[in-house]
Amino acid sequence: MIEAPERLPERDQAITGMLPNVPFDGWTKRALRAGVRDAGMAPDEADMLFPLGSVDMIETFCDLADRRMAEAAAALPETKLSARVRAVIALRLQQNRPHKEAIRRALAVLALPGNAGAAAGCTARSVDAIWHAAGDRSADFSWYTKRAILAAVYGATVLYWLRDGSEDDAATLAFLDRRLAAVGRIGRTRGRVSGRIDSVLARLPRPPGFGRPTAMGDTG
């Protein structure tokens, strides 16, 4: 798990306060100072809260969105894991709907070459938060494969969502359903292929002594 940015109530409060200004001023100190003022905080706190600048603000916003999503997801009805993953992503999109332009501007900042590490970190933390909110607690090798697959699905869904003008994200959710269905088909196909390969291998002739238990001390 990639370490989250520093978590302080004052940083969360400042990010919440600045979000309405980001569509106009971007992820800038100007937007931050306005947000700090609107949140009723001391203006001189702006420069101290986010010493690393825009990327620090964006990472904190993403982490705050992860935490809010996880908290709200606890109330989702108990269903199978795949349905909960879909429900958690839908919940996150709903929560972020008022901040769509701020997210679009955040992606533009993270797309700069020097910010590739921060972009990867935000994606990795969000995908992990989605799986955890959905109830996945795996610790085996599938932990990596499931998160890599969901990162691709989630990233494509967010880009589609940014162009979706519907109020209820209906088109985006249909897009998400298609992506998840495609992943499911790939998984089922892989399982069938693996089963067939094992079946074929089991019928192949084996060399004499292949797989024969060897007695202790037997040198062959």
pTM of the model: 0.81
Task: Tell me the average pLDDT across 107-121.
Answer: 96
Task: Tell me the average pLDDT across 75-85.
Answer: 87
Q: Are 59 and 121 in contact (CB under 8 A)?
A: yes
Q: What is the Rg, in whole angstroms, of the alpha carbon atoms belonging to the chain?
A: 24
Helix (H) or strand (E) run with residue 79 in it: none
Q: Are 89 and 157 in contact (CB under 8 A)?
A: yes
Question: How far from each other are the two terminal CA atoms of the chain, in whole angstroms?
Answer: 48
pLDDT of residue 104: 97
Which band of pLDDT confidence, cut at 50, 70 and 90, is reported for residue 209?
low
142-166 pLDDT, tens digit each: 888 888 999 999 999 999 999 998 8
Which band of pLDDT confidence, cut at 50, 70 and 90, is reported for residue 185?
low
> Hey, what domains does the chain have and what are their CATH numbers?
55-200 (1.10.357)
pLDDT mean across residues, the chain = 84
Q: What is the C-alpha to C-alpha distance for residues 176 and 89, in angstroms, rounded to an integer?
A: 9
Which band of pLDDT confidence, cut at 50, 70 and 90, is reported for residue 214?
very low
Residue 211: pLDDT over 60: no
Q: What is the C-alpha to C-alpha distance for residues 200 and 218, in angstroms, rounded to an integer?
A: 31
Which band of pLDDT confidence, cut at 50, 70 and 90, is reported for residue 215?
very low
Q: Are 130 and 107 in contact (CB under 8 A)?
A: no
Quote the percentage of the chain above a pLDDT of 90. Answer: 62
